[in-house]
């Protein structure tokens, strides 16, 4: 039984890991080796594609754009999503659960169908080809996710904690800020990471609402790598890996924080 599980896990793992591994291999090959097989592994491995990514194009600028948009989106979605989620789950809001499901429903609408109207809205706001245009669009899209992730945790908050806070003299806002939010720290971390990853990887809006390096993000930048007559696979792979590294780093750094709960000891278990 255990051996079967192990075998199955290995197979699934290999299946999932193969594409990124292939990408790593590709990013270490010289242009000459790219089109030939064998050799399977680069021979010798070269870091040239990584250098080439930054040569002659504003890849650094793409990274800055991505970072600003992703961080701002994360902040806004928490700033708006956390109070909304708390109010809808813990305060007596008329039709609270209907509103929550409304959020869920809205998030089911495919992004593609919204690109057109959103483009018009962003253009009339004068936000085309700016960070804020992207932040606005991304926040709108991430918000339901943030609200729902936090709602799950807020629902599990022991009611006695809030009652104790009220008795201790806290207003609803103080209860939210000093008790509910810190106790749900892991949820906040999880929601932030999810929002960040979404905004960092987002491609459709970033492609549609930008036109220059003023706001183009890493995924859009990479999409612009292919020239008229060449397909620089090695640089695309290297760029993608550079682009993915912050997300990978975040997940590795915070996975324990996301998983572990700090509610232990709050109430008798």
Partner 1 sequence: MANVRLQGLEKRFGETIVVRQLDLEIADREFLTLLGPSGCGKSTVLNIVAGLEPPSAGRVFIGKRDVTSLEPQERDVAMVFQSYALYPHKTLFENIAFPLRLRRVPRQEIRDRVQEVAARLGLADLLDRRPAAISGGERQRVALGRALVRRPALFLLDEPLSNLDARLRTEMRGEIKRLHAEFGTTTLYVTHDQVEAMTLSDRVAVLHEGVVQQIASPDEIYRSPANRFVASFVGTPGMNFLEAEVEGGRVMVGGLVLGLTAPRAAPSKVVVGVRPEDVELGSTSGASGLVESVESLGAETLTTLKWDKGRLVVRAAGAPKARSGETRTFRFKDDRLLLFEPRTGARLQ
Residues lying near partner 1 in the complex (CB under 8 A):
158, 160-161, 163-171, 174, 178-179, 182-183, 185, 262-268
- Cα distances (angstroms) measured from residue 64 to each of 59, 122, 138, 233, 237: 9, 21, 16, 23, 19
State the number of CA atoms in the 13 A half-sphere of 46 facing the CB: 14
C-beta of 79: minimal distance to partner 1 in Å?
20
Q: Tally the residues of the chain.
A: 269
- The residue (of 110 and 169) whose beta carbon lies closer to partner 1 is 169
- The residue (of 2 and 92) whose beta carbon lies closer to partner 1 is 92
C-beta of 78: minimal distance to partner 1 in Å?
17
- The residue (of 23 and 174) whose beta carbon lies closer to partner 1 is 174
Q: Which two tokens stand for residue 163?
A: 């009652």
Which residue is it, tokens 């290999």? 14
- Cα distances (angstroms) measured from residue 117 to each of 111, 113, 124, 210: 11, 8, 11, 15
- The residue (of 150 and 179) whose beta carbon lies closer to partner 1 is 179
C-beta of 188: minimal distance to partner 1 in Å?
12
C-beta of 192: minimal distance to partner 1 in Å?
17
Q: Which two tokens stand for residue 73?
A: 């989106």
């Amino acid at each position: 039984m255990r051996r079967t599980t192990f075998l199955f896990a290995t197979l699934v793992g290999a299946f999932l890991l193969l594409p990124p591994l292939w990408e790593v291999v590709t990013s270490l090959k010289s242009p000459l080796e790219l089109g030939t097989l064998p050799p399977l592994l680069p021979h010798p491995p070269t870091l040239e594609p990584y250098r080439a990514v930054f040569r002659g194009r504003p890849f650094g600028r793409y990274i800055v754009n991505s970072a600003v948009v992703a961080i701002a989106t994360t902040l806004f979605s928490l700033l708006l999503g956390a109070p909304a989620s708390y109010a809808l789950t813990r305060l007596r809001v008329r039709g609270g659960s209907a509103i929550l499901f409304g959020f869920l429903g809205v998030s089911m609408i495919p992004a593609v169908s919204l690109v057109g109207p959103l483009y018009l809205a962003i253009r009339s706001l004068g936000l085309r080809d700016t960070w804020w245009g992207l932040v606005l669009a991304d926040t709108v899209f991430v918000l339901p996710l943030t609200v729902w992730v936090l709602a799950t945790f807020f629902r599990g908050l022991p009611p006695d904690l809030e009652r104790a806070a009220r008795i201790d003299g806290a207003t609803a806002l103080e209860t939210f800020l000093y008790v509910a939010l810190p106790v749900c720290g892991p949820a906040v971390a999880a929601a932030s990471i999810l929002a960040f990853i979404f905004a960092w990887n987002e491609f459709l809006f970033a492609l549609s609402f930008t036109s220059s390096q003023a706001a183009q993000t890493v995924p859009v930048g990479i999409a612009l790598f292919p020239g008229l007559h060449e397909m620089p696979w090695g640089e695309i792979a290297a760029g993608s890996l550079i682009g993915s590294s912050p997300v990978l780093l975040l997940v590795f750094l915070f996975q324990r924080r996301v998983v572990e709960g700090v509610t232990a000891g709050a109430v008798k278990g």
